[in-house]
Amino acid sequence: MTQKSNIEELAVFGGASLFAIPKSTSNLVQPDFAKFMGYSKLFFDQHHYTNNGPNVKLLEQRLAAFHQTEYCVTFCNGFWAIALAISALALEGKTEIVMPSLTYRRMADIAAWVNLKPHFCEMEQSTLAMSAATVRPCINEKTALILAAHPIVNCCDVDGLVALAEERNIPLLFDSVESVYESTASGKVGGFGNAEIFSLHASKLLNGFEGGYITTNNADLARKLALMRGFGFAGMDNIVVPGGMNAKLNEIHASMALASLDDVEEQVRLNSQRYRTYKISLALIPGIRLLEFDERYRSGYKNIVIELLDEWPLSRKDTIDILNAEKVLVRAYYSPPLHHRPMAYPHVPGDLPLTDRLAEGYLNLPCGHLVSTDDIADIVEMLRFISVNANRISDRLHQNGAT
């Protein structure tokens, strides 16, 4: 692969892109095909393609064991898993859900769909996540639920949030879609709070094509969620739980997720190699700080996030535009934050200065199954080239009206 020798060769100025195939921030892991076909044969031979078939049951058993929880309930995707979990846990008669603003772009929409009003809390600069200290000021007599989202590198204040929820007698739901493999000082992610939510989307650590699941140690909640994903039916024409829908995971998606789960240790090993390659090479470039994984605890090393420091010579937007043109598909970290997105539904407006500042400075770098360590070396070299030639690049972008 040929690196740039002068700024005229940059793709943003009409040159050839660094990569022929885009390098994305999605995991896109491809499990062993033979394993996938082997699992698929289980449901095919039984002619049981959906409605809690053999692979869904096996997947739920294995995921519960993986997360060291009593129960796991699978869903067609993480979106509806979140929606139904919120609906199942929210305190009756209460109207607000406390959540971070620096998180999944549709999270506030999901809350509104279940008739709750998003109440956005501030973040901690050290973790890019909410904590008990930032949540406490948002709790009031209207609070129905705390939705605690882990950041995409490391974990949020699990112990503090659990203690706060217990103190105030408020249900606590963790959004753990980026923390499948992670552990904290108190144990493995999956068994904290009332329940935890995970995704089986192709972009995540475990690829089920699409899908999601919830882990919990509460038998009544697990039963309620299992009923809700199947219209609330408990037998023919017998709806026992209102508010249900068709949110069942099908068998072929479960087969893919099982094959991915079989390969997860090897995937984490390769992710660790990618992370360490980034860590060594990015340390040589001024103005960039890698968000490091807390290696006191178990981590999946899936996501790569950097902070552009004050000495980085270009704006984040210009940096993204230049790299995207090279088919290095970096993206802004959770930007814009949710409290700045247009919302046509009730929410609690708030002044979140730290969230605003944090939303301006971070980038997700390419990672996952389709990014090699050689690719990473080329990406970092491109960042070095941009840094060295930043003044001329900025002048040219301004002249071209590209910014």
Q: Is there a domain that residue 238 lies in? A: yes
- Angstrom distance (rounded) from CA 388 to CA 196: 45
Paired sense of beta strands 96-100 and 117-121, if any? parallel
Q: Is 176 helix (H, G, I), strand (E, B) or coil?
A: coil
pTM of the model: 0.94
Residue type, 156: C
In the numeric block, the tokens 């002249």 are attached to 399
| Same domain, yes or no: 153 and 275 | no
Domain CATH code at residue 109: 3.40.640.10
In a domain? residue 373: yes
Q: Is residue 2 one of the residues assigned to a domain?
A: no
Residues facing residue 129 across a β-bridge: 124
Tell me, yes or no, whether 75 and 213 share the same domain.
yes
The reported pLDDT for the residue numbered 160 is 98
Residues 121 and 232 in one domain: yes
Q: Terminus-to-terminus CA distance in the chain, angstroms?
A: 28
DSSP 108-135: HHHHHHTT-EEEEE--BTTTTB--HHHH
Q: State residue 236's pLDDT score.
A: 66
Question: Using alpha carbons only, what angle is made at residue 126 by residues 85 and 135, rounded to the nearest 5 degrees?
Answer: 40
Asked whether 211 and 253 are in contact (CB, 8 A), the reply is yes
Tens-binned pLDDT, residue by residue, of the chain (403 aa) = 567 888 999 999 999 999 999 999 999 999 999 999 999 999 999 999 888 899 999 999 999 999 999 999 999 999 999 999 999 999 999 999 999 999 999 999 999 999 999 999 999 999 999 999 999 999 999 999 999 999 999 999 999 999 999 999 999 999 999 999 999 999 999 999 999 999 999 999 999 999 999 999 999 999 999 999 987 667 666 666 777 788 999 999 999 999 999 999 999 999 999 999 999 999 999 999 999 999 999 999 999 999 999 999 999 999 999 999 999 999 999 999 999 999 999 999 889 999 999 999 999 999 999 999 999 999 999 999 999 999 999 999 888 655 4
Query: Given the DSSP bridges, would you call strands 362-365 and 195-199 parallel, antiparallel or unpaired?
Result: unpaired
45 Cβ contact list (under 8 Å, min separation 6): none
Last residue of a domain, one of 237, 262, 287: 262
Examine the domain organization and report whether 155 and 293 are in the same domain: no
Domain boundary (230, 262, 294) is at 262
Minimal CA–CA distance to 227: which of 211, 242, 217, 249? 242
Element (H, E) at 143: strand 143-149
SS3 100: strand
Domain count, the chain: 2
Rounded Cα distance between 65 and 363, Å, is 34
